[in-house]
Amino acid sequence: MLTLSQSIENAVSCIRKKTSASPKAGLILGSGLGDFTDSLEDSISVPYCDIPDFPLSTVEGHDGAFVFGNYNGKPVAALRGRLHYYEGYAQNKITMPVRIMKKLGVETLILTNAAGGINLDFSAGALMLITDHINYSGSNPLIGANLDEFGPRFPDVSDIYTKDLRIKLKEAALRDGIVLKEGVYIMYSGPNYETPAEIRFFREAGADAVGMSTVPEAIVAAHCGMKVIGISCITNMAAGVFNVKLNHQEVIESANKVKHDFTKLLHIALNFAA
């Protein structure tokens, strides 16, 4: 069986046969947001299924491919569809794309997701800049042997969502007429949605939004020494806020409704990252 390091090296070698791009900015696109890659120029797609020993995405709204292209003449790497812990993969497997991006030259990672609103001042359609997170997934992608070539055994995560980039992005978004909320994101393992009691607990713990991704990727990015921007699209209010049942189709539809502003925001973020 291949080690994690060997799997990463094999993936990088496979991608290098398709493109010689050295992107400084990387994106991981959440539910319903994969179409953003259509705005990249001269794009090349490398499906996950073409990469040896690489996990496959199984969730609707997550196509499953690396996309390499140019934004304003600068090379960008994007993940069109992410991998999730609840699909049965270990967290060090679902974060392989982050380490692969690092090997390809990425220095700033932009993470996006669809999330449920916990903060009662939020509403569906809001965009939230992640200031910090709570890992309630029950695991951690750095468990196991440390990959010394990427970072230290005990990485600091006190500024995991890079503060100076958050300030610049919020100011630039406001100039463009985009209102950005700010808050703490909590990761729940899924795949079931949270119970109303869990949401009340999360709110008391200081969380503003909840989802089933992003946190492992941010941790690995920090381990790799990357700068990180995290953006949540609040596609619905979390369980118990309203007396309605939650479903994934609603998440996709809500993400589509705010896709215009979200896309503008990603373009703004890339101006700082690429």
For residue 55, give both structure tokens.
């996990």
Contact between 121 and 93 (Cβ < 8 Å):
no
What phi and psi, each to the nearest 5 degrees, are found at residue 78?
Answer: -135, 145
Residue-wise pLDDT for 7-53, tens only, equals 999 999 999 999 998 999 999 998 767 788 888 999 999 999 999 98
Given the residues 9, 198, 248, 271, select the one marked as catalytic.
248
Given the residues 7, 113, 137, 213, select the one marked as catalytic.
213
Given the residues 11, 87, 207, 209, select the one marked as catalytic.
87
Q: Is 236 considered catalytic here?
A: yes
For residue 171, give both structure tokens.
């100011």
Contact between 72 and 30 (Cβ < 8 Å):
no
3-state secondary structure of 2: coil
pLDDT value at position 13?
A: 96
Q: Is 123 considered catalytic here?
A: no
Please determine, for residue 151, whether its predicted confidence score (pLDDT) is greater than 90: yes
Contact between 116 and 194 (Cβ < 8 Å):
yes
Nearest to 140 by CA among 97, 174, 92, 177: 92
- Mean confidence (pLDDT) of the chain: 90
Helix, strand, coil shares of the chain, percent, nearest 5, are 35, 25, 40
Q: Where are the beta strands (DSSP E) in 192-246?
A: 209-211, 227-237
Please determine, for residue 253, whether its predicted confidence score (pLDDT) is greater than 70: no
Q: Is 267 considered catalytic here?
A: no
Given the residues 57, 71, 84, 238, select the one marked as catalytic.
84
pLDDT value at position 97?
A: 97
Given the residues 25, 114, 126, 239, select the one marked as catalytic.
114
Characterize 203-236 residue by residue with b for buried, 16 or more Cβ atoms within 10 angstroms of its Cβ, and e for exposed: beeebbbbbbbbbbbbbbbbbbebbbbbbbbbbb
Looking at residue 203, its amino acid is R
Q: Is 248 considered catalytic here?
A: yes
Given the residues 113, 137, 236, 254, select the one marked as catalytic.
236
Given the residues 7, 25, 31, 193, select the one marked as catalytic.
31
pTM of the model: 0.93
Domains and CATH numbers, the chain: 4-273 (3.40.50.1580)
Given the residues 96, 212, 237, 255, select the one marked as catalytic.
212
pLDDT tier, 259 (very low <50, low <70, confident <90, very high otherwise): confident
Please determine, for residue 271, whether its predicted confidence score (pLDDT) is greater than 80: yes
- Helix or strand holding residue 184 (H, E): strand 180-188
Rama region for 16: left / alpha / beta (φ>0; ψ in -120 to 50; rest): alpha
Angstrom distance (rounded) from CA 271 to CA 19: 23
Contact between 30 and 213 (Cβ < 8 Å):
yes
Q: Is 209 considered catalytic here?
A: no
Please determine, for residue 202, whether its predicted confidence score (pLDDT) is greater than 90: yes
Please determine, for residue 249, whether its predicted confidence score (pLDDT) is greater than 70: no
Mean pLDDT throughout 165-191? 95
Q: Is 212 considered catalytic here?
A: yes
* Chain centroid, CA 205 distance in Å: 22
Q: Using CA atoms in the order 139, 81, 167, 254, what is the torsion angle rounded to 10 degrees?
A: -100
Residue-wise pLDDT for 81-126, tens only, equals 889 999 999 999 999 999 999 999 999 999 999 899 999 999 888 9
What is the DSSP pairing of strand 180-188 with strand 209-211?
parallel
Q: Is 254 considered catalytic here?
A: no
